[in-house]
Amino acid sequence: MTESEIAYAWWCVQNNPHRFYQWSKWLSKRAEVLALDRYECQRCREVYHRYRKADTVHHVNHLKDRPDLALEIWYKDPVTHTKRRNLVSLCSSCHDEEHPEKLRRKISEPITEERWD
Ligand SMILES: [Zn+2]
Ligand SMILES: [Zn+2]
């Protein structure tokens, strides 16, 4: 990512996360990841060996923790130094399981808090 892209992602995280998900650079990156995964949920494929259509692109390093990776499909694992996926296509039920904090929030907080991918 460029300096200005990282600065914009940081701004979104701190001020208005929705703006990130409306950002044209995110929308095109998201489309790129879905195409790369052939619209298949990668967690269903790897964990359950079953096919499910993906409808979400998840940040393995959560956006709010690592805005500097927000548009990176790959990242280097700091421990093993291997190249790993940072953006991954998931179905909605796998995505919920990757975000247990969201399920808890659903009960008490408004829907506007839901859109962290
Ligand atoms: Zn899945
Ligand atoms: Zn996610």
The pLDDT of residue 104 is above 80: no
Question: Minimal CA–CA distance to 43: which of 102, 6, 97, 100?
Answer: 97
Residues with CB under 5 A from ligand 1 (ion): 41, 43-44, 52, 91, 94
Question: How do residues 7-17 score in pLDDT, each as one tens digit?
Answer: 999 999 999 99
What would the DSSP string read from start to end of 64-116?
Answer: TT-GGGTT-SEEE-TTT--EEESEEEE-HHHHHHH-HHHHHHHHHS-GGG---
Only one residue has tokens 């964990």, namely 47
Q: Find the 59 Cα to ligand 2 centroid distance in Å.
A: 5
Burial 23-55 (b: 16+ CB within 10 A, else e): beebeebbeebbeebeeebbbbbeeeeeebebe
> Which ligand is closest to the CA of 99, given by its number?
2
Domain boundaries defined on the chain: 3-113
Question: How do residues 49-69 score in pLDDT, each as one tens digit?
Answer: 999 999 999 999 999 999 999
Question: What is the pLDDT at residue 96?
Answer: 94
